[in-house]
Amino acid sequence: MSIAFDSEKRIFKLDTATSSYIFQIYEQDYIVHLYYGAKIPDNNVVGLKYRGGFPSFSPNNIKVDDWMFSPDVTPMEYPGEGTGDFRISAFAVRNSDGNNSTDVRYVSHKIYAGKPAIDGLPALYVENDDEATTLELLAEDSVTGVQAVLYFTVFEKLGAMTRSVKVINNSDKTVQLERVMSTCVDFHTHDYEMLTLYGRWGKERSLERRALAHGRQLVSSKRGSSSHHQNPFGAIVDKGATEDYGNAYGFNLVYSGNFAFEAEVNQFAGTRVIMGINPEGFGWTLEPGSVFNSPEAVMVYTPDGIGEMSRIFHRLYRKHLIRGKWKDIKRPLLINNWEATGMDFTGDQLVTFAQRAKELGIDMLVMDDGWFGDRNSDRSGLGDWQVNEEKLGGTLAEFVDKINALGIKFGIWYEPEMISRDSNLYRAHPDWCIHVPGREKSIARHQYVLDYSRQDVRDYIFGEMYKVLSTCKIDYLKWDFNRNLTEVGSAALPADRQKEVFHRFVLGTYDVMDRLTKAFPDMLIENCSGGGGRFDPGMLYFSPQIWTSDNTDPLERLTIQFGTSMCYPASTMGAHVSACRRTGYDTKGNVALWGSFGYELDPNKFTDEEKRIVKRQVKEYHKYYDVIHFGDLYRLISPFENNNRAAWEFVSEDKNEALLTCVVISRPADTALFIKLKGLDPDKYYVDDETDEVYSGALLMNAGICLPNEGVSDGSSFIRYFKSLK
């Protein structure tokens, strides 16, 4: 098995295709981390727990017969608070005595094939038990009786593992959880760089890279969502690591709320990395016999650079995170009316959209915001999920029948977690929004956030959605979320449980999404949060694609899509052609092909030439679908490092197909561009679909090809498709 326990040395060894992860049960049952890195065959690494001598300011346990051992400097597997380890802790429980000293030690373990689900939370899954192996380790604080069950699941073939924690109050007294991180790894050095993804609305997931230094380095969210501003992804990489070379350790949290990813370099230059729910603003009352589950952290290691780290994430998520009908089959090519009409539309107008879309080969029309209640601007209507039949010119079922009669599928927009101040629902239930009594409610986009920590609120919203969605054939739902949480409080919880609201809100969202996917298993859900404000694995568990950004400018999209691809596969990235004027439709289409392709404009305004281009793009979407959605991504020229060009390549799993895309951001002075492809079979021969020239894989990767620069202008682009000769 990929997880082994050496009972004599009391060492656990977890192996994947690329890595080994080793820890030991030491004296007095301390759980001591030993190694995480390139795969090794043996486990003779016990000496790695020592960090050299230390003074009296690093305390020891008098029961441990080892003068070199101190919790302050020893690498720990799941460190607690206030018991000798002064570094950032993974676990802190305030007990009935009022202190938060926390120290969990090994009690027992079990190893088994497969992977358990996490109650109430999204998580990676297996379809067959032989796809993963799990270690379930029980640790306990002997003073308080609080237990922590540490879960380690190894996806051996994919080079990845997951971590999560179940906290059990095994005492007869209530305790308060203050910190429950999902994973902690102690590295032996600080000779690394931290790689994270920062941004803002319309400029999500830009790449940030910094050298680790003594002290703490943190990225986080306390907005109630994973956010546009920081993503729950981080990596620790060798200094100078490239796409192709160097150690890369990737971390990603399967969670859509407040998170923290933090690294601390201590006095001996060791580095501790933790990831989990952001402790700031978090608290949880755990009564005797009660259980709390942390979200799951995904960990990937490779010695083969940042690009291979990304490809491991992509393979893992395509196979073990994305679920349901749309996991492996071709998704519909859609057109959304939002950028064309906003909320100012009629049913007849959208029927003409569908007619034009059908002529162009588009599969689906999505009706965006404005179809319900008194909703003609963003000032009213959210929460009143009743169809505006006057606007549609009849019932929703009648309208959808008109669309379907054209041979077009139909999709619809919702924002189920929000409520307008000007709405019938708010007037009837003003206490249903998240708020703090006596304090003014901050407004954003003229709306408040519904209190999804409440069962009655969730039941009502799901019921109203079900009434609409069950009346006719709706193939797609766009789930939006257009503001963050402020004045976070719930009228349904007592004062001593108000710190639970942030997490309960996320659990409530997952509850409604889970009910929705079970009630409508054939419906494709696309998540959105003002674009990419909740682009995280938690959302991907329920919606196999996410609207990557509200910014559809193809040149701006280059950094957004490059950054997103650090751990999220192309199949998850909603990418549309819009009416943006910075480039022509060729480049708009070439950039949007990197993702779940679609259109965001008025098809009635196309010229004959634009119609010809769109029809060609539709054919390309079908022709290249498999290599893009299921192939391996190679980032060739990064817009973060090159102001003139960006280039990327998809290679099919069997290495029989490759799709190269290059975009000219700003025309450089040189007259030609040489590009070396990656990931091909050096012994195969490939034909260039455009020129019919035949090249060996070795030539394409080692010598490269030349793309002409003559006549090229800012915003131009190229696509080259290669297919192996049989």
Q: Among this protein's residues, is 550 annotated catalytic?
A: yes
Residue whose structure tokens are 């990931």: 679
Distance CA 417, CA 483 (A): 10
614 membership: H or E segment, kind and range: helix 608-630
Among residues 368, 475, 480, 536, the one annotated as catalytic is 480
The Cα–Cα gap between 106 and 415 comes to 45
Find where tokens 């859609």 sit.
Answer: 334
Beta bridge partners of 633: 650
Residue whose C-alpha is closest to residue 120's, from 498, 415, 465, 504? 504
Task: List residues bridging with 248 in a β-sheet.
Answer: 237, 302
- DSSP notation for 224-261: SSS-SSEEEEEEEEETT--SSSB-EEEEEEE-SS-EEE
Contact 668/644 with Cβ under 8 angstroms?
yes
- How many residues does this entry show for the chain? 726
How far lies 477's CA from each of 140, 165, 365, 543, 592, in Å? 45, 33, 11, 9, 20
Distance CA 639, CA 621 (A): 24
Helix, strand, coil distribution of the chain in percent, nearest 5: 25, 35, 45
Q: How far apart are CA 273 and CA 189, in angstroms?
A: 12
Instruction: Name the region of 531 (left: φ>0; alpha: ψ -120 to 50; beta: rest).
Output: left
> Rounded to the nearest 10 degrees, what angle do helices 585-592 and 608-630 cross at?
20
In contact, 452 and 458? CB cutoff 8 Å: yes
Rg (CA), the chain: 27
Two tokens, residue 445: 């986009």
Q: Say which of 384, 451, 475, 550 is annotated catalytic.
A: 550
Question: Exposed, middle or buried by CB within 10 Å (0-12, 13-18, 19+), for 103?
Answer: buried
CB-CB contact of 720 with 648 (8 Å): no
Separation of CA 147 from chain center? 29
With helix as H, strand as E and coil as C, how does 61-126 read? CCCCCCCCCCCCCCCECCCCCCCCCCCCCCEEEECCCCCCCCCCEEEEEEEEECCCCECCECCCCC
- Residue 589 DSSP SS3: helix
480 catalytic, yes or no? yes
Instruction: Please tell me the number of Cα atoms within 13 Å of 39 on its side-chain side.
Output: 16
Provide the β-strand partners of residue 575: 597
Q: Which residues of 698-719 are buried (b: 16+ CB within 10 A; e: fewer)?
A: ebbbeeebebebeebeebbbbb
| Nearest to 384, CA basis, from 464, 481, 457 | 464
Residue identified by tokens 């202008």 is 713
**CB under 8 Å to 616, separation ≥6 — which residues?**
none
Task: Say if strands 364-367 and 409-414 run parallel, antiparallel, or are unpaired.
Answer: parallel
The 3-state DSSP class for residue 342 equals: coil
* Token output for 399: 């309208």
645-651: strand order across its sheet: 632-637, 645-651, 657-664, 717-724, 685-688, 694-696
Helix runs in 213-346, H state only: 305-320, 338-341
Helix (H) / strand (E) element for 398: namely helix 396-405
Q: What angle do CA 690, 693, 694 make, to 5 degrees?
A: 125
Catalytic residues: 480, 550
